[in-house]
Amino acid sequence: MTPRIEALEEKKLVGISTTMSLVNNTTGALWRSFMPRRKEIINTLSNDLYSLQVYPSDYYTSFNPATSFQKWAAVVVNGDEDVPTGMQTFILAGGLYAVFDYKGPAGDPAIFQYIFGTWLPGSPYELDHRPHFEVLGPKYSNTDPQSEEEIWIPVRRGTPSTNHHLIPNG
């Protein structure tokens, strides 16, 4: 699976966030609290949902499934509308992303094992410290094997010291 590389422009999101870890995964509860209220958000730019993760800077260098991170259930908005009570605004900074068009059940770790274990080490990119997110569009259906979503991984051009396969021979 080869991703497309996109330069994302800054986006404004409104939604609900929580602190969790992979060991104490509360994604289901987060989405159950957000979905009944998403229509309260005005000036949405699309019907797409954003599942966004904000990891600590050392999350992937010293990976531990018990390490906490911030998880968001949100939508993209246009403007400075009133934010519904109990929701917050998040500014998603622009930057370069590797975008994987994934088809399969949500929560299958195989796609992330491929991205971080195979694709990224063999690519001319390295992981950048910005939020990771998934865009859940009209073909998203959670655990359905036919579900489709976009997985956005923040990247930057690697250097020869970080991508050893780019060092010329001899």
Q: What is the pLDDT of residue 170?
A: 36
CB 78 within 8 A of CB 11: no
Q: What is the pLDDT of residue 80?
A: 72
Strands 88-92 and 95-103: unpaired
CB 137 within 8 A of CB 48: yes
Q: What is the pLDDT of residue 105?
A: 86
Q: What is the pLDDT of residue 160?
A: 56
Q: What is the pLDDT of residue 143?
A: 78
Q: How many residues does the chain have?
A: 170
d(CA 51, CA 132): 9
- The CATH number assigned to the domain with range 4-164 reads 3.20.80.10
Q: What is the pLDDT of residue 77?
A: 95
Domain boundaries defined on the chain: 4-164
Read off the tokens for 10.
């800054």
Q: What is the pLDDT of residue 1?
A: 84
> In this structure, what are the phi and psi dihedrals at residue 80, rounded to the nearest 5 degrees?
-110, 50
Q: What is the pLDDT of residue 168?
A: 35
Per-residue pLDDT of the chain (170 residues; tens, 9 = 90+): 899 999 999 999 999 999 999 999 999 999 999 999 999 998 999 999 999 999 999 998 888 999 999 999 999 999 777 899 999 999 999 999 999 999 988 878 889 999 999 999 999 999 999 999 999 998 988 878 888 999 999 999 987 544 444 333 33
Q: What is the pLDDT of residue 144?
A: 84
Residues forming beta bridges with residue 13, ordered by sequence position: 76, 90
Residues forming beta bridges with residue 72, ordered by sequence position: 17, 52
